[in-house]
Amino acid sequence: MASQTRYVDRMIPQVSLRDFENRMDEITAALIHAAENVGFFTLIDHGLSKEDIDIMFATSKNFFDLPDETKATVPWNSNNVGWEKNSQIRPSTGQPDRKESYQMQFGENMKKLWIEDDHLPGFQATSLNFMHRVQEISERLMRCFARGLGFPDNFFIECHGITRPNSQTTMRLLHYFSLPEISDGKVYHRAGAHADWDFLTLLFQKEGQSGLEICPGREVVTEFGIGDEWTKVEAKTEEIVCNIGDLLMSWSDDRFKSTFHRVKAPCEQEDYFGDRYSIAYFNQPCKDSLIQGPLKKYPMVTGAQFTENAMKRNFAALQEKLQAVAAA
């Protein structure tokens, strides 16, 4: 069946972090322009080699290749850590995403939720090493965004401190299941259209495993607008795809845009139908961090309150979708 999606070409800015300390003003200007206009950008010269990223992807695949009963020894919980399968339902679709994921954090929230070395030797050490390196990249970006908004350079870094006991920053390993190339009459969704509610997301994709699409257009963070003109984001293993989350949109008084995106289920012969793997790193503030933009457009909230409010908005939108489907 042919896709009904309307596609448009949009320039997705590419930002080099080469010689960061000496080019910080230039890099800040590029990031601010991307944040204000698209909400998405890609990073090159970020310090992680293709080999570094491939090792983490291989580690991720080794986890997902384990039997479900083994993965179930680290079950998902409300701290947004652990393993889940076919359980995330998007308000945009009303159906579960066809995927499984394993969320990992720094510190106490992972107590007894790391897969044991007996099942997967070296998994925790490899994952934490990668997480720390991605955090270093995130903190460079945070310095730039703080400077662009008139905050002290370390303002966002301190609000997202991963050594604090109430840290919420999360790395999510993702495995999207292969789908039938010949239609079986069912409707599948790999990841329904959504906006991230974190500060900033850094996404790693594997070359050749396409599917990510974006749809800019939101003007205020409280909108649940999706739009209908999409742009494909090519998967390149060595590039990091970054997007502004609802938190940074709110923190910037809606100056920076949190953009709707999805992982589209394949429907045309040139699409990718096989197993798809990606890795998302979500910069989320500590629960007690205070969040308010320089113009004070929105009331001050804590990191915990912002996450709770985002989940409530998401749940309300989902209920509205399910009621509309039931009434149809």
Residue 99 included in any domain = yes
The pTM of this model reads: 0.90
Q: Which of 200, 279, 274 is nearest to 237 (CA)?
A: 279
Tell me, what's the pLDDT at 211? Answer: 80
Which domain, by its residues, includes 194? 6-327
Are the C-beta atoms of 277 and 209 separated by less than 8 Å? yes
Is residue 1 one of the residues assigned to a domain? no
**pLDDT per residue rounded down to tens, the chain (328 residues):** 334 678 888 889 999 999 999 999 999 999 999 999 999 999 999 999 999 999 999 999 999 999 999 999 999 998 889 999 987 665 555 666 788 999 999 988 899 999 999 999 999 999 999 999 999 999 999 999 999 999 999 999 999 999 998 899 999 999 998 877 666 656 666 677 778 889 999 999 999 888 888 887 777 777 665 567 888 888 899 999 999 999 999 999 999 999 888 887 656 555 667 889 999 999 999 999 999 999 999 999 999 999 888 777 766 665 665 565 566 6
Residues 6+ apart with CB under 8 A from 183: 1
Contact 251, 155 (CB under 8 A): no
**What pLDDT does residue 298 have?**
95
SS3 for 33?
Answer: helix
Q: What is the DSSP letter of 286?
A: -
Largest Cα separation within the chain, whole Å, is: 59
pLDDT at 20: 98
Residue 227 backbone dihedrals phi, psi, to 5 degrees:
75, 180
Q: Give domain status of residue 168, yes or no.
A: yes
> Has residue 150 been placed in a domain?
yes
In a domain, 222, yes or no: yes
Predicted pLDDT of residue 84: 94
Run of H or E including 263: strand 260-263
Residue 92 pLDDT? 54
pLDDT score at 3: 46
Please state whether 253 falls in left (phi above 0), alpha (psi between -120 and 50) or beta. Answer: left
**DSSP letter, residue 75:** B
Residue 216: the pLDDT is 79
The CATH number of residue 97's host domain is 2.60.120.330
Count of CB atoms situated within 10 Å of the CB of 215: 23
The answer to whether residue 174 is domain-embedded is: yes
**pLDDT attached to residue 318:** 54
> Is the residue at 203 inside a domain?
yes
Number of domains in the chain: 1
Question: 196 Cβ partners below 8 Å, 6+ apart?
Answer: 243, 245, 246, 258, 282
Tokens of 31: 């990031």
Q: Which residues contact 136 (CB under 8 A, 6 or more apart)?
A: 47
Helix 20-37 × helix 123-149 angle, to 10°: 80
The span from the CA of 2 to the CA of 92, in Å, is: 20
Closest to 198 measured CA to CA, from 284, 136, 258, 138 = 284
* Residue 249 domain flag: yes
